[in-house]
Amino acid sequence: MHFISTRDQNKTPARFTDILLGGLAPDGGLYLPESYPHIDDATLTRFREVLEKQGYHALAAEVLKLFVDDIPAEDIEGITARAYTTPKFSDEQIVPVTKLEDGIYLGHVSLGPTAAFKDMAMQLLGELFEYELGRRGETLNILGATSGDTGSSAEYAMRGRTGIKVFMLTPAGRMTPFQQAQMFGLDDPNIFNIALDGVFDDCQDVVKAVSADAEFKKNNHIGAVNSINWARLMAQIVYYISSYLRVTSSNDEQVSFSVPTGNFGDVCAGHIAKQMGLPIDRLIVATNENDVLDEFFRTGDYRVRSSADTFETSSPSMDISRASNFERFVFDLLGRDASRIADLFGTQVKQGGFSLSDDPAFGDAATKYGFLSGKSTHADRIETIRDCNARLGVLIDPHTADGVKVARQWVGEIDTPIVVLETALPVKFADTIKEATGLEPETPARFAAIMEAERHVADLPNDAEVVKKFITDRV
């Protein structure tokens, strides 16, 4: 199995363990497999048996083996067994699926140590990083950006690990108090929190700018845990497969997914699972008021917004107007034309975006690739949270509410059950939950003292050079 960059016209092959530690490709592109492995009926039947008899970690190992051939199979099995355990995850199924109402299910991917779906990938990434760095005798300085949950998930996955330091950029004042407390309350010597003067897209741009400096990246052993890292998406493919298996009883059934997304990472994993042959009918992109992705799937126009035009919403992890992983999907949509991708995302996005409305390939987004979309507002979130709690006895977070709202929009128009992928537990967004229900969400016991911890964070300007100096002073 080899991987190629979305912007490399020569399709230079790379191995998994090399791109694991590197993250972004040298040409600024994102890595994808040269070709997707195929899940046929026999493979799906075997996956069903593995999940039922051995559990989620064993299924994860089987999926990883499809993509990774430069780590011994028995080591992959050990890595997934360490990553997906209880009580690290609060349910023995790791990702249980429950019925919400007729035609709609919830995929519970937020039961990990930081109560966010990002734990599903980060716990695996932590194990993979430590394993490969130990094998090579190397160190890694992780640089990332977070709009809410990626940061805490990464830090909890990497804290205390040998040979790893984490530098995490956050948009100053743009996360909930609970999210800030989770990150800034950590005092591990290998964890460094940076509050940047800007919004998430600014943080993401700084990460890309630093990563694009090849000499700095090499000299300081810079790596990535954001969803630009292929291993993140690979980990997320597993819960699409497990959720499909839990909802169905035979391989001839199809399932759709409604995915709250801002950066297109979570739903991109679903896209890849569908291309592998998992019987997915529709992939429904659910956005908040920052609806750049919904606009694209409706019109063909990918119109990125400036920081000033990015709304601060009550589903803050989706307050994103330049979706990094979108490049991976468009690469597939346009027949893997690397030169065109380099122009669209390397040049046109920086100038405000691009349009595929007149391109014949745009129609394939819905027909061949199964994409639908929808938008949710603050009023929609409040009403959806209130309704699910009052009528169904189910409390959901604001991002999951976006997913439910958009799923309800489409449930009558498609014939397959829809699994809404949960984003986080309600406790992370107490103010919005209280506005919707009048009640404070219950705080799980493991988070009881989190708000009282001393804060550890550095305030920095929106300047990649300043961030570079901060890093070099600490590595």
Question: CA dist 114 to 233, 239, 423, Å?
Answer: 19, 17, 11
140 pairs with which residues across the strands? 164
CB-CB contact of 151 with 424 (8 Å):
no
Active site residue 350: no
Does residue 327 contact residue 6 with C-beta atoms inside 8 Å? Answer: yes
Type of residue at 159: R
Structure-token match 């001839």, residue found: 252
d(CA 216, CA 243): 41
- Other C-beta atoms closer than 10 Å to the C-beta of 350 total 11
Q: Is the torsion defined by CA of 260, 238, 36, 129 positive or negative?
A: positive
From the list 65, 99, 118, 469, the catalytic residue is: 118
Nearest alpha carbon to residue 269 among 328, 339, 310, 313: 328
- What count of other Cβ atoms lies within 10 Å of the Cβ of residue 34? 12
DSSP annotation of 318? G
- Give the number of other CB atoms < 10 A from CB of residue 184: 21
Residues designated catalytic: 118
